[in-house]
Structure 1
Amino acid sequence: MRRWATAQHGPVQEAGITLGVVAVAFGLRYELEGALPPGFPYLTFFPAVILTSFFAGTRAGVGAAVLCGLASWYFFINPVGSWALNGASLLALLFYCFIVATDIVLIHLMREALRKLDAEKQTSDALAVQNKLMFHELQHRVSNNLQVVASLLKMQRRQLEDEAARAALDTASARLQVMAGIQRQLHNPKRQEADIAALLGGLLPEVIGGFALEPAPELRVSGESLKVSGDQATPIGLIVVELVSNALEHATQAGAALAITVTVRREGAEARIVVRDNGPGLPPDFQPERSRSLGLRVALQFTDQLGGRLEFASDRGTVATLSFPLAEG
């Protein structure tokens, strides 16, 4: 209905619609003659003018008003069959002119408003598509830039002999890989959330590969599908990468093969991510908040940002448990 009201018609179409509607209105009024009491000369002509104005436009509506007015004047207003005017017929015609003029003006304003709304909607749709493409490109470029920086750090690592410096670059590169991976997952503006188990399953093999340990550590990521918001995904990824990196560092120190399991599950309104390894375990006096490890302090800060808890225990290795409330919605 709205599409018909705002459609543009050529002169031939307007003339055809006008003549067709006026003919139907005249035929109906002629058939009703005698069945109606006196005083209803415009009974079918008012709807004809309104419909023509709505569907064919203002110009067609004016044409229909003129033709309907002439037909009603000659055939249905006394003296019938004459163009003669008297006080009663003049008043009837003036009434007709006022009514149809008001209808045509109101319908014209309505059609113009609908056209403006359609134009604004098209503009908004075009801007939305443009913004979507720009957002997609921006996120893609951010992800690529992070990957480039991570690659540069890996190249720099090969030129260092100091193990502490190499480990620091490994950690920095791993963190950049995490952020790049999250950017790839969230670059679609329609999906500003991530399945954390799938996200970690894609990120952590890169982290482990960056350490180049022999024999290669065994990694298993399992758990239920758990969606988190984009705001939560980055700190979660960085925290888990830090926990896995610590496990890899301990394995290097111990000289033993390492098995790491990451489990994701939901418990009520909270998410729980458990990182377990079979390494040497924690020192007896280990206190996370007093640790001098920059990475661990960063992980604790991100945990506070999530409003969660990061707990450590020894159980045939190290068990780190990250708990945080899930965002509503």
Structure 2
Amino acid sequence: MASPSNSGPARPGAAAEQLPPYLAGVLDDFAAHLEYERGLSPHTRRAYLRDVESILDHAIRVHDGGAGDGRALLRALSLADLRGWLAELASAGAARSSLARRTSVARTFVSWASRQGLVAADDGTRLVAPRPHRTLPPVLAADQAADALAAAESGARERDPVALRDRLIVELLYATGIRVGELCSLDIGSIDAERRVLRVIGKGDKERVVPFGVPAQAALGEWLDHGRPALATGASGGALLLGVRGGRLGQRAARTAVHEVLAAIPGAPDMGPHGLRHSAATHLLEGGADLRVVQELLGHASLSTTQLYTHVSVARLRSVHDRAHPRA
């Protein structure tokens, strides 16, 4: 392998600037791997790189700075170093879910470094994280979801462009269960209004097609006919959803829109787009959708992720049991 470069995708934070040049170059090469080979989003890449910086910084401190440019320090990176890093994070109050995520990052980095010949052994395979507590996020009741959508529709009756946009945001998030980043990335060309489907680019640049219903189709038509033209500028390009200045809508603005709509519903939990995604998946499952269908709609690579993401009401479980079990 060639010596790691000192140029490449930008790294966040000041910690990387304090690394020895060799290790900083390794971090640049790993950043390129995450972007061009793994296809990870900028947000995910930043999180990975922060954690790897933390691993390397921990190793430098534990070994009193090591020797030379850090080449020998990295090559000797061991299971004890990785465990010590996690223990340090745990002592600082890191949650079990955070430790589990960081363990995954450590495994990914050490595996990559092993393939590049940068470490003596792939000790990441033996690194075990604490099992995270599995807590379910809040979910809207079906009547609360209906009230929220009705409120959004009512607010858009005067055809105010922002109100029309916010109605479409809530309708599409609940109708499809897509992620807020996927929503904000939609272009007009991503929509097949006649067939009522979206073409979504999800995590890892994987494309999937997601259907939506008649109410969302109506909200889309109102937005395209009366809302988007009022906000569009030369900078709008093909973006479906626009901010007040005509640029592509940002995720923060989409989250604010969801919070404001749900704040008007008595008894509804305070949630953002992720809560609508979870509510959509839950209501699909409670309505009889197959778990694998929900997995496909949500864009989960693993069925186990969908099983954690959704839950089934006790009433539905009882109903299925009563219909299906011979001794019910």
Q: TM-score, normalised by structure 1?
A: 0.23
More strand, by proportion: 1
Q: TM-score, normalised by structure 2?
A: 0.23
More helix, by proportion: 1
RCO greater where, 1 or 2, for CA within 8 Å and sep 6 or more?
Answer: 2
